[in-house]
Amino acid sequence: MAYDKFTVLKSRAVPLPSENVDTDQIIPARFLKATEREGFGDNLFRDWRYDVEGNPKKDFVLNDPTYTGKILVAGKNFGSGSSREHAVWAIYDYGFRCVVSSFFADIFKNNCLNIGVLPVTVTPEFADKLLNAITEDPSTEIEVSIPAQTITLLSTGESESFDINSYKKDNMQNGFDDIDYLLSMESEIDQFEKTR
């Protein structure tokens, strides 16, 4: 599915410094029963966000109105575990367009790039810097630029560059997905299939 183009995003951010946040936390298995892609945001971080009666837990960051924004700054090894793309759908549906961490799980990162959520890998030091800045001043803004491949803490001007391969970079900036590309090379795939 095509998604909204992503070039430069300037936004406040939500801090979630926990390490090893797995996709079962991002969207628990019992909410994977839908046959359509929309609406997963309601259950993003369900068991951290709500108690068993469905009341919001006061100490969870998504329930703290102080923090808002389209950027989630997360702890190390974010998105490990299940390959469920629903985790990224939930993140996107909730309103995030960018996740920042010093370390992402592989499949999660691929899923992000495939549906238009930008995963930005920064150094552990810069991740800490961002987390501290947002926590101290929730109005802190961060700018993420795909053309420049940079992430900048606007309050201090501190910046880091991040990697994204030129193919995915082009896709994100144009809102394209891989299927458009693959469908364009149908005869080449047919030729290849005959050799299998």
Nearer residue to another protein within complex by CB, 24 or 143: 24
HSE toward the beta carbon, residue 80, CA cutoff 13 A: 11
In the complex, what is the shortest distance from the CB of residue 144 to another protein, in angstroms, rounded to a whole number? 21
Q: Which is nearer to another protein, 157 or 193 (CB)?
A: 193
Query: Which residues in 20-51 are b (16+ Cβ under 10 Å) and which e?
Result: ebebebbbbeebeeeeeeeebeebbbbebbbe
Nearest one of 153, 151, 113, 148 to 137, comparing CA atoms: 153
Q: How far apart are CA 77 and CA 109, in angstroms?
A: 11
Write down the least CB distance from residue 111 to another protein, Å: 4
Question: Between 143 and 164, whose beta carbon lies closer to another protein?
Answer: 164
Q: How far is the CB of 171 from another protein (least distance, A)?
A: 9
Residues that bind another protein (CB under 8 A): 1, 17-20, 22, 24-25, 28-30, 32-37, 47, 52, 75-77, 80-86, 88, 103-107, 110-111, 114-115, 165-168, 177-179, 181-183, 185-186, 188-189, 192-193, 196
Q: Which is nearer to another protein, 154 or 192 (CB)?
A: 192
Q: Are strands 141-145 and 150-153 parallel, antiparallel or unpaired?
A: antiparallel
CB of 13 to another protein, least distance (A): 16
Token pair 């005869």 in the structure block, residue:
187
CB of 121 to another protein, least distance (A): 11
Q: Where are the alpha helices (DSSP H) in 12-161?
A: 23-26, 46-49, 86-94, 106-115, 124-136
Q: Comparing C-alpha atoms, which of 119, 143, 120 is closest to residue 133?
A: 143
Longest dimension (CA), the chain: 60
Q: Which is nearer to another protein, 105 or 153 (CB)?
A: 105
Output 21 or 151, the one with its CB closest to another protein.
Answer: 21
Q: How far is the CB of 48 from another protein (least distance, A)?
A: 8
